[in-house]
Structure 1
């Protein structure tokens, strides 16, 4: 299994994303990157906060990255929140 997976945050409900993250951890991923682009930046932050409130001390913030990337010819801001599950 890969040790790091990227979850692109979009329109789905936060509960759907929480289930996806939990499944990624159960499948053996050591780290998960929550990535929000453009209008979904705040949603990625909301997802992180929901995970912390749901999973408590079993999830740990590794690092947060911000920047811009070219998507369809336009520069779009993004946030990448890297978390890991504590065992």
Structure 2
């Protein structure tokens, strides 16, 4: 018996100091390379920018992208906790 397992690749985009449009463009390129799921992750001061990137992506791609889930939490970084948001989006085909 032959068993086929399909593994969906998820790529991470860390949101930082670059302009919002750079991250939107990077996400679109990832979708064009064949990945169907992307996580937009913003930490600390870049949490609101991650939300801005998601909104700009939806504005640009419309119904061809869907929100899968939103995770919020904190990571330990240099002995302190740093809040984050992770927005998972999927490309519809």
TM range, normalised to the smaller chain? over 0.9
CA drift of 1:30 comes to: 1.3
1:13 paired residue number:
19
CA drift of 1:2 comes to: 6.4
CA drift of 1:11 comes to: 0.6
* Gap runs ≥5 in structure 1: none
Q: Find 1:73's aligned residue among 58, 79, 86.
A: 79
TM-score (norm 1): 0.95
TM-score (norm 2): 0.89
1:62 paired residue number:
68
- Tell me how large the CA RMSD over aligned residues is: 1.3
CA drift of 1:15 comes to: 1.0
**3-state DSSP of counterpart to 1:49:** helix
- 1:31-75 Cα offsets, whole Å, 9 max, x none, are 000000000000000000000011100110000000000112210
CA drift of 1:4 comes to: 0.1
2:41 paired residue number:
35
Q: Aligned pair 1:50/2:65, yes or no?
A: no
**3-state DSSP of counterpart to 1:45:** helix
